[in-house]
Amino acid sequence: MDYKYIEQLIDRYFQCETSLQEEQILKTFFAQEEQDVPEELRQYMPLFTAMQAGETLGNDFDDRIMQLVKEPTVVKARTISLSQRLQPLMRAAAVVAMLFMLGTAIDRVIQIEPQVGDEINYSAYKDTYDDPTMAYDKVEDALRLISDGFSMVQRTDSARIDSLITGLR
């Protein structure tokens, strides 16, 4: 695996040139198990781990505040279950696994005149649905399947590495 991309991101991080998304990539990358992080990069783990938001206030705080505030109308509160909150974090590790697939900045070559052959003829596309709401439903399902696929890639990779290690023993 090519970690030049991560090394580049780290350099840019200290130069204050990274975007929020790139910083999240670094945090996610270093949130992996130590054995999954290459040795030369492990020195950065404490730094990015320290950036994970930790401290929280309990529900009793909410009760206290609502008592003091005495809001007149009862509004339906948004409740997010624990599993819902954890889900994105687990998927994020899959993002890292897929990064190397996308042809990151260092892979980009000098721009050459794009060939006509690269252009897709979109005018030939006939929409299945006329209603954006229906189209959105399908698109959402598809995007969810893609991100599930990424998660499965990550799990498969770990399993492969595990069996490789076991095989070597």
Partner 1 sequence: MKQIDFRTDILPLKNELYRLALRITLSHADAEDVVQETMLKVWNRREQWQQIDSIEAFCLAICRNLALDKTKRAERQNEQLDESHAPQDHSYAANPEELAVRRDQVALVRKLIDQLPEKQRSCMQLRDIEGKSYKEIAAVLDINEQQVKVNIFRARQAIKQKFIEHEQYGL
Partner 2 sequence: MKRTALLFLALTVQMVGLAQRSLDFAEKFLTLCKNDSSVKCVTVSPKMMEQMVKRAADGWENNYMQAIAKLKSMRIVTAAADYYQKAEDLLTKNNRRFKAEQDYRTDTQHGAFYTRKNKKGETVELIMLHENCNKNVFTIINVTGDIDEEFLCFLYNNKTFKN
- Residue 15 interacts with partner 2 (CB under 8 A): yes or no: no
Q: Mark the segment that binds partner 1 (CB under 8 A) among 7-15, 95-103, 145-153, 161-169.
A: 7-15
- The reply to whether 4 sits near partner 1 by the rule CB under 8 A is no
Instruction: State yes or no: residue 7 binds partner 2 (CB under 8 A).
Output: no
163 is a contact residue toward partner 2 (CB under 8 A): no
The yes or no reply on residue 87 touching partner 1 (CB under 8 A) is no
Contact flag: residue 121 with partner 2 (CB under 8 A) = yes
Q: Binding partner of residue 146 among partner 1, partner 2, none, CB under 5 to 8 Å per kind?
A: partner 2
Distances (CA, A) of 167 to 152, 154, 162: 22, 20, 9
Q: Which does 98 bind (CB under 5 to 8 A by kind): partner 2, partner 1, none?
A: partner 2
Is residue 8 within 8 Å of 110, Cβ to Cβ? no
- Closest listed residue to residue 6, CA positions, set 16, 23, 108: 23
* Distance of alpha carbon 33 from the chain centroid: 16
Whole-number Å distance between alpha carbons of 29 and 45:
9
Q: Quote the CA–CA distance of 114 and 116 in Å, as a whole number.
A: 7
Nearer to partner 2, 77 or 109 (CB): 109
User: Helix 4-14 vs helix 20-29: angle between axes, to the nearest 10 degrees?
Assistant: 120
In angstroms, give the least distance from the CB of 135 to partner 1.
25
